[in-house]
Structure 1
Amino acid sequence: MGIEIMRRLEAIAKEAALQRSVELFSVELKGQGARKILRVTIDKDPAVSIADCAGMSRDLSAMLDVEGILKGGYTLEVTSPGIDRPLRNKADFIKYTGKLAKIVTKAAAGAKDNCFTGTIVSVTEDAVSLEDKRATVEIKFPDIIRAKLEIEIK
């Protein structure tokens, strides 16, 4: 799909999310023809409910039908990021300070490991610090390949 179509889809999804008082987390469009899947992920404090997803789905579907952007049919999926949500940027790390996270980094020369799991203890302008049972490690944002919250069982 073209960049312009994705921008329009994101703008419409953002408007629907605003009307529903939820945060637009992500918009993905996969597949082709009648097999297109539009996956919209929403977030809300303290949690996204089934009613939030159903309401967003109804509103967004109606808005997309009026706009007529997706030709040939599509399947709309509205979901939450889940409890093991991805951490995408510095704001996410700040929001979840004190939570357990897993971070995969670029392989550094001489490094023993490029996968770290620990509690987010601090976030600076250019790095996040994780603390596990052994030590605290500082990871620079440009070195992060992917990060997500881990499920904590207490």
Structure 2
Amino acid sequence: MNFELVDVEYVKEGSTWYLRVYIDKDGGITVDDCEAVAREMNEILDREDFVEDSYVFEVSSPGLGRPLKKEKDYIRNKMKNVEIHTYRPISHEKNFSGVLKDFDEKTVTIENDTGEIVFEKKDIALIRQALDF
């Protein structure tokens, strides 16, 4: 299988634990891809028993609102509209949007109506492509 592991979540929703695996590949993910990865990973998870408690296991594509985590995510979204949510307010705001102009290991630069804004990556709780409908 030639898939990229995008993210893994182990979260509790209500009284149920969920182990979620997000995968991607060039050209996108199909339901059959998710099923194939789920079958393969289920065998490993059952055999190795990494998680003692019961949980629901899900495999899916990262979706349209996927967070930017890896360098190639930033490259793919350069010059596109992004949303940024910060841990703490910056100039009394925690939510920003604009065009992703630049990035490096430590910073992200967007441009919006107010000009360019440079964020330290450590201050960013979430950055993702903005969905314009």
* TM-score tier (shorter): 0.7 to 0.9
For 2:96, the equivalent position in structure 1 comes to 116
Residues 84-93 or 59-68, more deviating: 84-93
Unpaired segments of 5 or more residues in structure 2? Answer: none
Q: Summarize deviations over 1:113-146 as a string: whole Å, max 9, x none.
A: 3321112111134211112245222222122122
| Partner SS, residue 107 of structure 1 | strand
CA-based RMSD of the aligned residues comes to 2.4
- Higher-strand-fraction structure: 2
Instruction: Calculate the TM-score normalised by the size of structure 1.
Output: 0.70
Q: Summarize deviations over 1:37-79 as a string: whole Å, max 9, x none.
A: 2111112223222121111111111222222334464321001
Tell me, in whole angstroms, the C-alpha distance in 2 between the residues paired with 1:135 and 1:93: 20
For 1:129, the equivalent position in structure 2 comes to 109
Correspondences of 1:129-148 after superposition (within 5 Å): 129-148=109-128
Correspondences of 1:5-154 after superposition (within 5 Å): 20-31=1-12, 35-71=16-52, 73-88=54-69, 90-105=71-86, 106-108=88-90, 111-153=91-133
Q: Is contact 1:93–1:128 with CA below 8 Å preserved after alignment? A: no
Letter in 2 for 1:66: R
Letter in 2 for 1:60: M
Change (3 A) 1:135 1:81: same
- Higher-helix-fraction structure: 1
Deviation at 1:95, TM superposition (A): 3.5
